Structure 1
Amino acid sequence: MELILSYILGSIPFSLIITRIQGIELRKIGSGNIGATNVLRTGNKKLAVCALLLDAMKGFIAVYISQKFYCAAAILAVLGHMFPLWLKFKGGGKGVATTLGVLLALDIQIVLVFLFTWVVVFLIFRYSSLASLSAMAAATIASFFLSDGLFLTLFIIAVLVFCKHHQNIINLWQGSEYKF
């Protein structure tokens, strides 16, 4: 039951809900993605921060309530965000903010690696996608050295996040990725 709840929590499309409350159709803006980065493209920074916090919170809660199966709960929460039940398993986010929440529940050292990497890469290159992918890779590598039993979980999540970023990777390669 805890694992099903982890997926269902991850599946809540907070960004879509909070933008719709504000009269914004998020799927018609920027990338059309329902993640916090696309909320930022609406120009409403407070709404973007709210989306980021809500998406992180659902990842944190999913892992926190499922202490016995925390690795599976982490993966299911991220999968829920990517393939939300409420949106017929389509049009979900890319899982980065939810992963941040998962990491908050699992290991603060890895969170610090994730955040440090994201900020540094973003400040240098101004690409949210590149910062997210770099942070995900750094956190996964760091988990191998700093955390007992977290590496496989983060590796699986990283593969999922990289797969959801496939178009961003192509855009980065071609020089057509959206820059902030």
Structure 2
Amino acid sequence: MISFTVMMMLAAYLLGSVSSAIVVSFLFGKGDPRRQGSGNPGATNVLRIAGPVAAALVLIFDVLKGTVGVYVAFLLGLGELELGLVAICACLGHMYPVFFGFSGGKGVATALGCLISMGYSLAAYLFGTWLIVILLCGYSSLAAIVTVSFAPLYTYLFKPEYTYAVIMLSVLIIFKHRANIRRLYRGEESKVWKKGKANE
């Protein structure tokens, strides 16, 4: 079972390593998003440089990277801890993709995809929190940070068996947003509908 779990973790990491932001951006003729706008290969930056259709495709694919890996692991009978490790590996793949020089995105959409597999009510609360924050303030990074900060609480309420795994996932994503946190503190972060140096 341990070797099978490791195989699923590796598969989740490799799937997560397929950077949809880079692939979609090139398909739309916009080049590498890591060298434009914020430099972050995520849906928010693709929205700025390639438009809403490209951004929607990136968002869908990034969510699916998390959903597919965790759901397949669930169907194959892995337990709560193993599913949590698979979810973390999927996000690590997105953040540090082996196919793209280990330079990836922030992992928010992929983490949401993982959590969708853990429960629709949980995913709905997370999406609702993200939507409320971004509509109120316009900062994609702040919406992501607030949402993942609430994720362990929501998980405890709906799927308590996954709480520890989600705590680890939340810490990982907040760590990836440390530069955004500094910019938010200094008042230098750009809003999602403005072009410029801002990360998701």
Q: What is the TM-score normalised by the length of structure 1?
A: 0.96
Q: How do 1:36-75 residues align onto structure 2 when only pairs under 5 Å count?
A: 36-67=43-74, 68=78, 69-75=82-88
Deviation of residue 10 (structure 1)?
0.8
Per-residue CA shift, 1:131-152, capped at 9, x if unaligned? 1111111222111222131111
Per-residue CA shift, 1:62-82, capped at 9, x if unaligned? 101112131111010001100
User: Is contact 1:113–1:138 with CA below 8 Å preserved after alignment?
Assistant: no
User: Is contact 2:25–2:50 with CA below 8 Å preserved after alignment?
Assistant: no
SS of 2:9 mapped into structure 1:
helix
* 1:108 corresponds to: 120
Unpaired segments ≥5 residues, structure 1:
none
Per-residue CA shift, 1:2-53, capped at 9, x if unaligned? 2210110111101100101111121222210111111111151011011000
Q: How do 1:8-23 residues align onto structure 2 when only pairs under 5 Å count?
A: 8-23=14-29
One-letter identity of the residue aligned with 2:59:
L
* 2:36 corresponds to: 29
User: Is contact 1:111–1:139 with CA below 8 Å preserved after alignment?
Assistant: no
Larger relative contact order (Cα-Cα within 8 Å, sequence gap ≥ 6): 2
Q: Does 1:137 align with 2:153?
A: no
One-letter identity of the residue aligned with 1:77:
A
Q: Distance in 1 between matches of 2:116 and 2:110?
A: 10
| Structure 1 stretches of at least 4 aligned residues deviating more than 6 Å after TM superposition | none
Unpaired segments ≥5 residues, structure 2:
1-6, 193-200
Identity of aligned residues (%): 36
SS of 1:129 mapped into structure 2:
helix
CA RMSD of aligned residues (A): 1.1
Q: How do 1:146-157 residues align onto structure 2 when only pairs under 5 Å count?
A: 146-157=158-169
Q: Does 1:78 align with 2:78?
A: no
Per-residue CA shift, 1:83-121, capped at 9, x if unaligned? 1010232x2100000011101111112111111110110
Q: Distance in 1 between matches of 2:99 and 2:43?
A: 18
SS of 2:49 mapped into structure 1:
coil
Q: What is the TM-score normalised by the length of structure 2?
A: 0.86
Equivalent of 2:187 in 153, 175, 178: 175
